[in-house]
Amino acid sequence: MPEIYGTLGPRCSDPATLRAMLEAGMSGVRLNLSHITLHDAALQIKNLQRAALQCGKKAQLLIDMQGPELRIGALPRPLTLIEGEEALFGEGGVPVPALVLPCLVPGQQILLDDGKLLLEVVSGGGRTARAKVLRGGVLQSRKSLALPGCTLHPPTMTQTDLLNLSLAAEYGVTGVMQPFVRDRADLEAVRAALDQAGGSHIRLFAKIENREGVANLDELIPACDEIVIARGDLGNAMPLWELPRVQKQIAAKCRAAGRDFMVVTQMLYTMEHAAVPTRAEVSDVFNAVLDGAASVMLTGETAVGEYPVEAIRYMAKTAAEAVRYLESR
């Protein structure tokens, strides 16, 4: 049976909800450390451990680090981007990392918040750039930023990542998810930092979220414990119609090498607001298990969704049905 993961968040941080999720089939949780540290999440982690103890389970705890992912900075308030209008990036506008500004040249597209928002640069230079909104919506602080076709090389780990790795063993972390893995050196750096901090027993998950990771998959597979097909940003790195093929190719390589892999992102996306998933979503989970996924994960469905327990239940029951189908063959 594949491992079933949820994501910790405001909708599922209390012991009662976490216990119900564990009893519905959840194996453990992902803790997104893009905005916080392990110290900040101490109460959430304690609640998870308490819930696991109450239902006689050992809950896994995966931490998802900042890594080389690009994000905008803090906004004074949510920003509504209206299609056809322009937005300012850089000084006096949407804050972006300094290394991004030279890439904001006319014609460069900007994807924000896992691709939900799309803009195109119309003018740039120096400390600012202006971009036209092609696909609008509400932009919150610290959301992801991607520049299709632009190659940037931020450091493998941030100082906050190194702090969290030093605390991982103390907080009972069972796995570390390294985002935007580019090559084997990224994984070796994380592994070395973990080992130095007394975390040699902690599993290392390599998130494939860019074309570099896909191209270097053969060297990544032996350098980690599990490959993560992270379809959010991976879907930003290529046309969406190419994503299913790439997912199948990654799964096939992992199976051939005997390496575990996880499938994640929007698996039951509509359950953020609906009590029942779509037929397409259930089929997506079923087929991921048929492809050999060792684990599947929910993100916003449990972190901010209205039906975290029901989402886990649908995920677990669908995965179990897929296993039964495989066994019958």
Cα-only R_g, the chain: 20
Asked whether 4 and 315 are in contact (CB, 8 A), the reply is: yes
Cα-Cα-Cα-Cα dihedral of 45, 51, 57, 59, to 10°? -20
In the block, tokens 């120096």 appear at 126
Smallest CA-to-CA distance from 52 within 17, 13, 14, 22 is with 22
Domains 3-65+154-328 and 79-146 in one fold: no
In this model, does residue 69 exceed pLDDT 90?
A: no
* Whole-number Å distance between alpha carbons of 59 and 12: 14
In the block, tokens 């592994």 appear at 191
What is the pLDDT, as a whole number, of residue 70? 87
The string of pLDDT tens digits covering residues 289-298 is: 999 999 999 9
- For residue 60, which phi and psi values (nearest 5 degrees)? -80, 145
* Whole-number Å distance between alpha carbons of 134 and 86: 9
Active-site residue set? 30, 71, 207, 265
**Record: fold of 79-146:** M1 Pyruvate Kinase; Domain 3 (2.40.33)
CATH node for 3-65+154-328: 3.20.20.60
Average pLDDT over residues 28-37: 94
The string of pLDDT tens digits covering residues 285-326 is: 999 999 999 999 999 999 999 999 999 999 999 999 999 999
Name the residue ranges covered by the structural domains of the chain.
3-65+154-328, 79-146
* Whole-number Å distance between alpha carbons of 150 and 126: 18
In this model, does residue 150 exceed pLDDT 90?
A: no
In this model, does residue 142 exceed pLDDT 90?
A: no
The string of pLDDT tens digits covering residues 72-118 is: 999 999 999 999 999 999 999 999 998 899 999 999 999 999 888 99
